[in-house]
Each structure stands twice: as structure tokens, then as C-alpha cells.
């Protein structure tokens, strides 16, 4: 099986290098390129890692910031999802039971 890849999103850093410190700085330039996004959509685009991104938006960002795709998206190896189990523990959900709460009388 091949290795699993992930990515890092560097839009905020690239914007800062271009002295664009507010997420709303992107709204007008995007609109000029035919991309209409709300302020909350632009905020999520800048501050969070997008799971899906249209090529139209990506091309507009590359044009606005005069950068390459390598500057925005950095491929990295995905962390392995190795889970440790206690010795002799079953992997089924049926073996996971909540512990009964103990009620204690408080004296005043």
C-alpha cells in the first residue's frame, strides 16, 4: 500500500507576506475575478484548512497573491492512525461499558 498524503494550507502566511492582514482584504479582488464569497466564507478559506476548493477560487487566489500553488499548499505525509489496545481487550463496541456512578452521602 502507498503512503498516505495530507497537506498544509498556507493562505494566511502568504497573505501576511503581501501585507494583507485582514480576511476581508480578499473580498474585492475575488469579486473582480468573478468569485463572489461572503465574509464568513472568506474567513473560513483563510483561517481553516479547506477540504474542497474549486479551481476557479484557487486560480483567483494565485493571481491575487502573485504566488504559486506550492506556496499555498504544502504536501505532507499523513500521520499514521495506529491505535493501541490493552492486552486481551476486544475491539468490539460491546465490550465498552460505562462505569456505574457511586453516590456518596455528604455530611454537613
Query: 57-75: per-residue pLDDT in tens?
Result: 999 999 999 999 999 999 9
Contact residues for 15 (Cβ-Cβ < 8 A; gap 6+):
21, 25, 26, 46, 65
Q: The domain containing residue 34 runs over which residues?
A: 5-77
Domain membership of residue 69 (yes or no) is: yes
Of the pLDDT bands very low, low, confident and very high (cuts 50, 70, 90), residue 36 is very high
Query: Per the domain annotation, does 60 fall within a domain?
Result: yes
Which CATH number does the domain housing residue 69 bear?
1.10.260
CA distances for 86 relative to 79, 97, 98, 99, 100, angstroms: 22, 15, 17, 17, 21
Residue 102 lies in a domain: no
Number of domains in the chain: 1
In a domain, 83, yes or no: no
User: Would you say residue 94 has pLDDT above 70?
Assistant: no
Residue 58 lies in a domain: yes
DSSP H helices, 1-108, are 11-17, 27-32, 39-47, 55-65, 69-72
Flag whether 87 is in a domain.
no
For residue 105, tell me if it sits in a domain.
no
The C-alpha cell that represents 108 in the structure block: 454537613
- For residue 2, pLDDT beyond 70: yes
Distance CA 8, CA 36 (A): 24
pLDDT of residue 103: 83
Residue 101 lies in a domain: no
**Residue pLDDT, tens place only, 72-85:** 999 998 887 655 55
Amino acid at each position: 500500500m502507498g503512503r498516505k498524503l495530507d497537506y498544509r494550507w498556507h493562505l494566511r502566511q502568504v497573505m501576511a507576506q503581501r501585507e494583507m492582514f485582514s480576511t476581508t482584504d480578499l473580498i474585492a479582488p475575488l469579486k473582480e475575478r468573478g468569485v463572489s464569497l461572503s465574509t464568513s466564507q472568506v474567513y473560513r478559506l483563510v483561517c481553516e484548512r479547506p477540504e474542497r476548493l474549486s479551481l476557479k477560487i484557487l486560480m483567483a487566489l494565485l493571481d491575487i497573491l502573485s504566488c504559486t500553488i506550492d506556496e499555498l499548499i504544502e504536501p505532507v505525509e499523513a500521520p499514521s492512525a495506529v491505535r493501541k489496545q490493552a492486552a486481551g481487550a476486544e475491539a468490539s463496541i460491546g465490550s465498552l461499558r460505562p462505569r456505574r456512578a457511586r453516590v456518596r452521602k455528604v455530611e454537613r
